[in-house]
């Protein structure tokens, strides 16, 4: 339960900061978060909305960790997919990609399978 709460706190801090930056200033997000790999378009705001939802659900997860844990599965799926479909081909083809984001996503993809309460979902 402690590990779940730590992950929720990390989501609140990281996803919260990224979402606010992406929603308020896509130009700043493109420069800092996305490391100039992408143009500052409205798509950055769309992604900011997703990360804001994750941050808000993580706040609720502090009080009901098991009930809100499916948001962690969503993160595992979308981060893993992004790594395979976007980051890995960019690395192979020596193209620009947000390496900081890729490193964070990789960390999360490696940690989440051990934190997600799989057995609690089958009860």
pLDDT value at residue 23: 97
CA 100 distance to own-chain centroid? 12
Report yes or no: 56 and 120 within 8 Å, Cβ to Cβ.
no
Q: pLDDT averaged over the chain?
A: 95
Domain ranges of the chain: 2-121
| Mean pLDDT, range 46-66, rounded to an integer | 97
pLDDT value at residue 9: 97
Among 48, 52, 67, 62, smallest CA distance to 121 is for 67
Collapsing DSSP to helix, strand or coil, 67 comes out as coil
| Mean pLDDT, range 4-23, rounded to an integer | 97
pLDDT value at residue 122: 80
Among 75, 68, 30, 27, smallest CA distance to 50 is for 75
**pTM reported for the whole predicted model:** 0.90
């Amino acid at each position: 339960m402690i590990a779940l709460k730590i992950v929720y706190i990390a989501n609140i801090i990281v996803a919260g900061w990224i979402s606010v930056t992406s929603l308020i200033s896509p130009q700043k997000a493109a420069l800092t978060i996305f490391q100039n790999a992408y143009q500052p378009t409205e798509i950055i705001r769309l992604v900011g909305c997703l990360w804001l939802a994750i941050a808000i659900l993580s706040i609720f997860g502090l009080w009901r960790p098991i009930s809100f844990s499916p948001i962690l599965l969503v993160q595992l799926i979308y981060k893993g997919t992004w790594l395979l479909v976007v980051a890995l081909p960019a690395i192979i083809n020596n193209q620009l990609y947000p390496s900081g984001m890729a490193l964070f996503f990789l960390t999360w993809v490696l940690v989440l399978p051990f934190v997600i309460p799989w057995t609690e979902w089958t009860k």
